[in-house]
Amino acid sequence: MSVEWLIALLPFLLLAACPLVMIWMMRGMGGRSADGEAKASEADVAEIARLRGRLARLEKDPSRSKDETATTR
């Protein structure tokens, strides 16, 4: 194949790449729903509940924030 053929096919190859890249990106979103939010696993739900409880405690007593950050992770 000569260089002229490659140059002539280049616009069509670029045009074909757009839908292929879109399909690839959509597959990468795999576990996401139509509104863009990821589906939460049971571990995620438990972690969110734990963090909400911690936030509620910190909102009641902000002076505990240094103690709580030292004991987490």
* Spatial contact of 31 and 24, defined as CB atoms under 8 Å apart: no
pLDDT in single tens digits along all 73 residues of the chain = 688 988 899 999 888 898 889 888 888 777 565 555 666 788 888 999 999 999 999 998 877 766 655 555 5
pLDDT at residue 35, rounded to an integer: 59
Which residue in 72, 28, 29 sits closest to 54, CA to CA? 72
Among all chains, which residue has been given the structure tokens 């995620």? Answer: 44
Six token digits for residue 42: 């049971």
Helix ranges restricted to H, the chain: 3-28, 42-60, 65-71
> What's the pTM value of the predicted model, to 2 decimals?
0.37
Output phi, psi for 50, to 5 deg: -65, -45
